[in-house]
Amino acid sequence: MSQIIRLAGALGALMMAYVTPMAAQAARAEEPLRVGMIPDAGATQVSIEEKAPLQKYLSEKLGRPVKLIIPTNYNATVEALGNGSLDIAYLGGLTYVKAHARYGAVPLVQRDIDRQFHSLFITGVGSGITKLADLKGKTFCFGDINSTSGHLIPELILHDAGLNPKTDFKGFRYTGSHPATAQAVAAGICAAGAIDESVFHALVNGGKIGKDRVKVFLKSQPFADYVWAARKDLKPDVREAFAAAFLSLKPGLDDAVLKILRGTKFERASDASYQGVAKTAKALGLE
Amino acid sequence: MSETLTLLASFFPPDLKPSYLAALVPAFLETLGLVFGAMTLATLFSLPLALAVSMRIRGAGLLIHGLSVFRAVPDLTLAILCVIAFGLGPGAGLVALVLYYTAAMSKVFADLLETAPRGPVEALAATGASRLQVALYGLLPLTRADLFNYGAFAFECALRSSVIVGAVGGGGIGTELVGSLAGFDFQRATTQILMLVLLIAALDRLADWARNHPRALVGLIPFGLMAAWWCRPEFFALGHAFHVLGDMLPPSLPTDALQDLPRLVLETLWMAVAGTLGAAIIGLIAGLGASRRVSPAWLVFLTRRILELLRTIPEVVWGLVIVAVAGIGPVAGAWALGLHTFGTFGRLFADTLDHVPEAPGRAIASTGASRLMVGLYAVLPQSLKPVATHFLFRLEWNLRMATVLGLIGAGGIGQALYEAQQLFFYRQVMAYILVTAVLILAFDRLSRSLRARLNRTGGAAVSTGCLPSPAAAL
């Protein structure tokens, strides 16, 4: 028996020697603010580098280093906010509802368009699909399973139209991000798909998706979507400084940053806006 | 079909612009550091543990037995749980790899130490040597070659695993690859796959060199520890981990998910069987082509290079590519398993053909039979038993992989697990993890008894690591 204890003790000591300095390091001052973004538009090193102006803007405004992190999926972003490996995160409507319910995430700011956001149903120009009923027997692309405009709202619209993806479609998939949905529809991997309106317009205007290849055939009712939220125990002054940085973004002055955020104006966000999304999620069994 | 071909064509040419290659360097170093660090720690934990078992220290065996929990769950699941406990980045990947490979290597190392010839060990013990001395000066040197082979092989496995681990936020090339494929940035995905292939090939050469210079390995330990330190978890949210673990209990599935469970299990089984069987059939043909005894030299060379390329690309990478190009579902999963397994089988079968006794072949050749006839009637029948053993080992492994591939969109129980996890339905996650573990353990047992019946002297000891047998590491 004593040998077991000794063995376990030795292993434990090794682990401790490894873990203890981490705790010490966590206490060090001048830690960067860790800001995460759901990978609604991809999660590579390159996509982080493309967001460099945002990171630069934030660290100037906040007067401390800012580390920008894009986790590989929506769930990981929420869990990171819950376990404290992110201080602030850019979330979708549904992910915010989950982060708030599970970990008490605090809503800070959002674009003016996020309160009245829309989801678009898109299809290939030559597909012959013009209405929801035409989707029967076809393949369909959702965005991430946790996406509001890419899954929750489209699921609701399909449900209301009497369509069940599991039984009425030839097949469906979660592409993981909005650009991926657009590309999959353009390439014909999916006959149709559901996508975030601001990403879709940015892709079309930027020439990434040809207007001659993909068309919109349905626009959703408005709903509340994206929001920047802080972890529960982030200090109020840090939260406030972060919100102020976004509220003072000005078209003309900060265009590089605004382009990354695909918006023109930011407003304070409140939890009350998300009751509709929360109710829909419950009704559809996604929460 | 034409759409699929167009998409495949869009993987070429790879993006080799210097600016992009430079941007990839951090991810590349992260993968290398992650694997090197994790495997150094796993070796430092597992080797003493295995020695303790061989010294009959009570408790060590129990500890290894307890660690086997980590082997029954796919490494991807483990990585997801580590991301929850240790946050994003290489730290979570490091912990996942250390846990998984400490479990795998301690079991295999302990089994290998048992295979040391009894004579010298007993002679040493008779001189009055202590159990520690017997272990250090008897067992260890006697089994050194096998230990090294398995260790080198596990290292290569860890490199493949790091792609999986990266896919869920564990950092490195895996994270980049998943991002690029999801963003339809296929030319860059090709660049990353090429880098991975080069890394695996370089590792192979390094292992060959180290086999002849075992002392150099000791010199690598400080560097390994430094790499582990560099990739250490930046924090440890114990409270959060317990909170999430609490959310997982008790495991439960809603009625509709329960009704769907048999279909999901069958889908996963189908994926593994179809992929392995398909690979075995064409693998036998390719094996004839790659056999020095059956085929002309140019055909051997060509076949072997093709097989090499197929098996160097991990199943998960094949899976990511096929799912991105051809869509989700078990067929994509079966193809992913099949392509990689084909590469492995072709080589294994060729080596088996080349090593069967020559006499029957010469007898048939003396009747004026062609090379093909000799192959079909002398070489092939003699190699059926080892081929069947390889097949079963590989099927065991592919069942594990089938659950992992499900997590990236290839259907079956793995996909159900991943979707439940993404939606934070953690009690369902635990239920699926348990079903997966039972499925894998039950199949392992079935396969073991089949192998025992097939081949009473078979090397059943090493069936636990990344791949079932060291032979499959070829």
In a domain, B4, yes or no: no
pLDDT at B236 over 80: no
Cα separation, B164 vs A167, whole angstroms: 31
Contact A22 B87 (CB under 8 A): no
In a domain, A177, yes or no: yes
Q: Closest Cα of chain B to A43: distance in Å? A: 5
**Residue B225, H or E segment:** helix B214-230
Cα separation, A155 vs A152, whole angstroms: 5
Determine the residue of chain A that is closest to B328 in CA distance.
A173
Residues B282 and B177 in one domain: no
Contact A3 B59 (CB under 8 A): yes
Q: Which of B84, B85, B182 is facing A177, going by the closest CB pair?
A: B182
In a domain, A167, yes or no: yes
Q: Could you say which DSSP state residue B136 is in? A: I
Contact A72 B84 (CB under 8 A): no
Contact B236 A139 (CB under 8 A): no
Q: Closest Cα of chain B to A221: distance in Å? A: 24
Instruction: Report chain A's terminal Cα–Cα distance, integer Å.
Output: 47
Predicted confidence at residue A42, as pLDDT, reads 63
Cα separation, A10 vs B41, whole angstroms: 14
Residues A51 and A139 in one domain: no
Predicted confidence at residue A207, as pLDDT, reads 87
In a domain, B333, yes or no: yes
Q: Closest Cα of chain B to A176: distance in Å? A: 7
Contact B23, B176 (CB under 8 A): no
In a domain, A19, yes or no: no
Predicted confidence at residue B1, as pLDDT, reads 58
3-state secondary structure of B460: coil
What is the Cα gyration radius of chain A?
A: 21
Across A17-26, A72-81, A230-239, B59-68, least confident range: A17-26
Determine the residue of chain A that is closest to B235 in CA distance.
A22
In a domain, A41, yes or no: yes
Q: Tell me the pLDDT tens digit for each residue of A145-201.
A: 999 999 999 999 999 999 999 899 988 888 888 888 998 898 888 899 999 998 899
Confidence of residue B149 (pLDDT cuts 50, 70, 90): confident
Contact A76 B57 (CB under 8 A): no
Contact A248, A62 (CB under 8 A): no
Contact A139 B327 (CB under 8 A): yes
Predicted confidence at residue A23, as pLDDT, reads 44
Contact A22 B233 (CB under 8 A): yes
Residues A174 and A194 in one domain: yes
Cα separation, A253 vs B53, whole angstroms: 68
Residues A122 and A151 in one domain: yes
Calculate the dihedral angle through the C-alpha atoms of A7, A13, A18, A19, rounding to the nearest 10 degrees. Answer: 110
* A180 CB within 8 Å of a chain B CB: yes
The domain in which residue B51 lies consists of 12-244
Predicted confidence at residue B264, as pLDDT, reads 94
Contact B185 A44 (CB under 8 A): yes
Q: Tell me the pLDDT tens digit for each residue of B343-355.
A: 988 988 888 888 8
pLDDT at B95 over 60: yes
Residues A38 and A158 in one domain: no
| Structure-token pair, residue B19 | 């600016």
Task: Provide the domain count of chain B.
Answer: 2
Contact B236 A47 (CB under 8 A): no
Percent helix, strand, coil in chain A, to 5, is 50, 20, 35
Q: For residue B68, what are the contacts with CB-CB under 8 A and spacing of at least 6?
A: B103, B107
Task: Provide the domain count of chain A.
Answer: 2
Q: Tell me the pLDDT tens digit for each residue of A7-31.
A: 555 555 555 444 444 444 444 446 8
Contact A241, A61 (CB under 8 A): yes
Contact B165, B174 (CB under 8 A): yes
Residues B24 and B93 in one domain: yes
State which of B195, B215, B244 marks the end of a domain: B244
What are the helix (H) ranges across B406-457?
Answer: 412-422, 426-454
Contact B102, B63 (CB under 8 A): no
Sheet (strand A88-91) strand order: A66-69, A33-37, A88-91, A227-230, A106-111, A266-268
The β-bridge relationship of strands A119-124 and A214-219 is: antiparallel
The domain in which residue A186 lies consists of 118-219
What are the helix (H) ranges across B356-405?
Answer: 359-365, 371-374, 380-405
Q: Which of B184, B229, B247 to mutate to test the interface with A (most CBs of A within 10 A)?
A: B184
Cα separation, B225 vs A47, whole angstroms: 31
What does pLDDT average to over chain B?
84
Determine the residue of chain A that is closest to B325 in CA distance.
A189
Q: Closest Cα of chain B to A248: distance in Å? A: 30
Q: Closest Cα of chain B to A129: distance in Å? A: 19
State which of A178, A204, A219 marks the end of a domain: A219
Q: What is the mean pLDDT of residues B85-91?
A: 80
Q: Tell me the pLDDT tens digit for each residue of B36-62.
A: 999 999 999 999 999 998 888 888 888
In a domain, A26, yes or no: no
CATH for B448: 1.10.3720.10
State which of A187, A219, A251 marks the end of a domain: A219
pLDDT at A232 over 90: yes
Contact B59 A7 (CB under 8 A): yes
Cα separation, B60 vs B58, whole angstroms: 6
Cα separation, A75 vs B182, whole angstroms: 16
Q: What is the mean pLDDT of residues B296-319?
A: 90
List, as ranges, residues 90-119 from A with C-beta within 8 Å of B. Answer: 98, 102
| Structure-token pair, residue B404 | 């992992």
Q: What are phi and psi of B234, to 5 degrees?
A: -80, -20
State which of B223, B244, B265 marks the end of a domain: B244
Q: What are phi and psi of A129, to 5 degrees?
A: -85, 125
Contact A171 B329 (CB under 8 A): yes
Cα separation, A138 vs A132, whole angstroms: 11
Output the CA–CA distances (angstroms, integers) from residue B80 to A122, B97, B251, in the order listed: 32, 12, 17
For residue A189, the chain B residues in CB contact (below 8 A) are: 3, 7, 325, 327
Q: Closest Cα of chain A to B198: distance in Å? A: 21
CATH for A56: 3.40.190.10
Q: What is the count of residue pairs from A and B with beta carbons less than 8 Å apart?
A: 157
Torsion B419-A169-A152-A89 (CA) sign: positive
Q: Closest Cα of chain A to B125: distance in Å? A: 21
| Structure-token pair, residue A63 | 């007067």
- Least Cα distance to B10 among B244, B325, B456, B268 occurs for B325
Residues B352 and B400 in one domain: yes
Contact B235 A145 (CB under 8 A): no
Q: Residue A275 burial by CB count (10 A; 0-12/13-18/19+): exposed, middle or buried?
A: exposed
HEC string for A16-75 = HHHHHHHHHHHCCCCCCEEEEECCCCCCCHHHHHHCHHHHHHHHHHHCCCEEEECCCCHH
- Least Cα distance to B140 among B39, B47, B43 occurs for B47
State which of B244, B278, B307 marks the end of a domain: B244
Q: Residue B248 burial by CB count (10 A; 0-12/13-18/19+): exposed, middle or buried?
A: middle
In a domain, A199, yes or no: yes
The β-bridge relationship of strands A139-142 and A192-196 is: parallel
Contact B182 A180 (CB under 8 A): yes
pLDDT at B473 over 50: no
Determine the residue of chain A that is closest to B421 in CA distance.
A75
In a domain, A21, yes or no: no
Residues A200 and A246 in one domain: no
In a domain, A10, yes or no: no
Contact B137, B178 (CB under 8 A): no
pLDDT at A115 over 60: yes
Contact A46 B63 (CB under 8 A): no
pLDDT at B84 over 70: yes
Q: Which of A19, A22, A44 to mutate to test the interface with B (most CBs of B within 10 A)?
A: A44
Q: Tell me the pLDDT tens digit for each residue of B188-208.
A: 899 999 988 888 888 878 888
Q: What are phi and psi of B150, to 5 degrees?
A: -65, -40
